[in-house]
Structure 1
Amino acid sequence: MSLIRRLCLVYAAVLLAVAAINYIPGLTDDSGLAFGIFALDPFDDALHLASAIWAFLAGLISNRSARTFLLIFGAAYLADGIFGIFTGWGFLDFAIFTNESLGPEFSFLRLAANSPHIGLGAIALGAGLTLGRRV
């Protein structure tokens, strides 16, 4: 199995773990914040679960499907994280469309809340662009 396909399987495992955060005792505080930083609602859980299934299937199917997943997922999650820093809301969960912008903020909490999407997105996009050349 190629590296790009194995990376998709790693993403599937990570995204599945993220979808499970709300259901593991001790990982959310009394106000429902995961690790005391960000809130994950059932829609977020469904989005992460759907992304995990997509990553898993892409990793099993072919190098081309794995590259497609990494490029689209990477671009979408990276952009969502950047939007979160500059508006306080993401677009993948439609929050940017239903909430007024909070404006840009570079506080620790805002950066911490958006860094998972920025990190996962940047790595996926970079891998899709670089590893995909070999596909």
Structure 2
Amino acid sequence: MRFIGWIIAIPVAFIVIAFAIANRTAVGVHFDPLPYELDIPLWAAVIGALAFGFILGAVIRWLFDHRWRAEARQGRRHVRALEREISTLRQRLDEAEKEQAQAGKAEPGQNRIAPPGDAA
């Protein structure tokens, strides 16, 4: 997977570098209605706008994914509770098997469970 990332990243890096070299002309960036103006290279303005858009999109996506993160957190808590219950039940089963073995009624590892309700 890391190899695929490098295969994609290297050509993209070359394209960005070529774009930066070809677009070194200074452009004026105005912050209307503020009185500020900034002269920066065209490549910096374009790449800065792309980076800003990427970061803004990532933040918005993170905010909208809150529901899924909350569900995953709740699911992890539920799994932990079930694992604790399984551990407790196994411990109780081991204790019951030992008691039965000591009483001579059954050998360890042999589970005898009473039938439910009216079943014979």
For normalisation by structure 1, the TM-score amounts to 0.22
Larger Rg: 2
For normalisation by structure 2, the TM-score amounts to 0.24
